[in-house]
């Protein structure tokens, strides 16, 4: 689907280079699936809110190595989310590397099939983030159950990341940042441009809101059968996501404007516990 003119104009103004999925070869099907999941989550939020379909949402993949994701209002009633495609590649690689090590979650599958080796589990592949279309040599689990677990963790992380960005719009964060702090967008990395306490509070609120919607059934997910997704797997995937985003950002960027990843992970786990107790 072509990027709407209002979204493309906003990305151009902010010097965020849009990337069409078809231009990324083997990654195109995966990026299109991410776009479908984004639409699914946005539709769900519209359905349960007072919005009732008045707000339009667009996901665009961008080339900006210093950015993980950014949410903005492209025009009145039109929310845009920009996601650096290198973040997608980095996430998939990270979960595969984690589950390819026998010391990581040894209770999953047959961990004895994995080789003990020195793997930089959360090492950012800078060439992935800096060169469009570049790839990394894949390291994947040998055990099929562990490989499938890594795959589900990847999609759990993608779902949470998309819900987190949409939360900034649905929770009124964009309006607050624009009206109170003069910020036109909210980025998951980049220079600190607002009061630390303001951004930390917004991040915690978005994490909690996203966590509450994260456990809902995902239509057509293989192996889920319409049931609520597994909270322990989700908690693991999200905690890894937080630490990875923390490391990617580096000192002086998102580290300065986001709570520590352990704090964010505890908040999400608390949301999961409350939902489990209310369901029981």
3-state SS of 207-247 is: HHHHHHHHCCCCCCCCCCCCCCCCHHHHHHHHHHHHHHHHH
Cβ 143 vs Cβ 111: under 8 Å: yes
Residues 6 or more apart whose Cβ sits within 8 Å of residue 95: 150, 151, 153, 154, 157, 237, 240
> Do strands 69-75 and 78-84 pair parallel, antiparallel, or not at all (unpaired)?
antiparallel
Side-chain half-sphere CA neighbours of 86 within 13 A: 24
Query: Edge-to-edge strands of the sheet including 56-63?
Result: 17-18, 56-63, 78-84, 69-75, 185-187
| Segment 121-126 mean pLDDT | 48
Structure tokens at 224: 């889920």
Tell me which residue has tokens 């003990």. 116
Cβ 61 vs Cβ 30: under 8 Å: no
pLDDT interval class at 255 (50, 70, 90): very low
Count of Cβ atoms closer than 10 Å to residue 276 Cβ: 12
Asked if pLDDT for residue 12 goes beyond 50, the answer is: yes
pLDDT at position 220? 46
CA dihedral 98, 99, 105, 108 (to 10 degrees): 170
For residue 216, which phi and psi values (nearest 5 degrees)?
Answer: -65, 150
More confident position, 38 or 192:
38
CA distance 10 to 17: 11
Count of Cβ atoms closer than 10 Å to residue 259 Cβ: 20
The DSSP line for 37-106 is: HHHHHHHHHHHHSTTTT--EEEEEEEE-TT-SEEEEEEETTEEEEEEEHHHHHHHHHHHHHHHTSTTSST
139-192 residue pLDDT tens: 889 999 999 999 999 999 999 999 999 998 888 888 777 766 556 566 554 444
pLDDT at position 21? 86
211-240 residue pLDDT tens: 888 876 554 454 444 445 677 888 899 988
- Give the highest mean pLDDT range of 82-96, 125-139, 146-160, 247-261: 146-160
């Amino acid at each position: 689907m072509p990027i709407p003119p209002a979204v493309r104009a906003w990305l151009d103004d902010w010097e965020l280079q849009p990337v069409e999925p078809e231009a990324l070869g083997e990654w195109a099907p995966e990026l299109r699936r991410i776009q479908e999941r984004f639409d699914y989550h946005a539709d769900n939020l519209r359905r349960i809110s007072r919005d009732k379909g008045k707000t339009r949402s667009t996901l665009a993949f961008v080339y900006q190595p210093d950015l993980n994701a950014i949410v903005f209002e492209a025009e009145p009633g039109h929310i845009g989310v920009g996601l650096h495609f290198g973040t997608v590649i980095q996430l998939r690689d990270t979960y595969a590397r984690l589950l390819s090590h026998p010391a990581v979650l040894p209770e999953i599958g047959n961990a004895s099939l994995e080789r003990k080796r020195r793997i930089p589990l959360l090492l950012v592949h800078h060439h992935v983030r800096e060169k469009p279309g570049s790839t990394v040599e894949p390291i994947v689990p040998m055990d099929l159950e562990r490989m499938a677990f890594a795959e589900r963790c990847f999609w759990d992380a993608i779902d949470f990341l998309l819900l987190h960005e949409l939360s900034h719009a649905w929770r009124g964060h964009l309006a607050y940042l624009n009206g109170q702090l003069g910020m036109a967008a909210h980025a998951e990395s980049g220079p600190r441009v607002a009061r630390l306490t303001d951004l930390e509070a917004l991040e915690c609120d978005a994490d909690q809101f996203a966590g509450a919607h994260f456990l809902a059934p995902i239509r057509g997910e293989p192996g889920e059968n319409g049931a609520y997704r597994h909270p322990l797997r989700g908690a693991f995937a999200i905690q890894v996501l937080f630490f990875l985003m923390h490391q990617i950002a580096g000192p002086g960027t998102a580290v300065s404007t986001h709570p520590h990843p352990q704090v964010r992970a505890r908040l999400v786990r608390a949301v999961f516990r409350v939902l489990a107790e209310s369901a029981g």
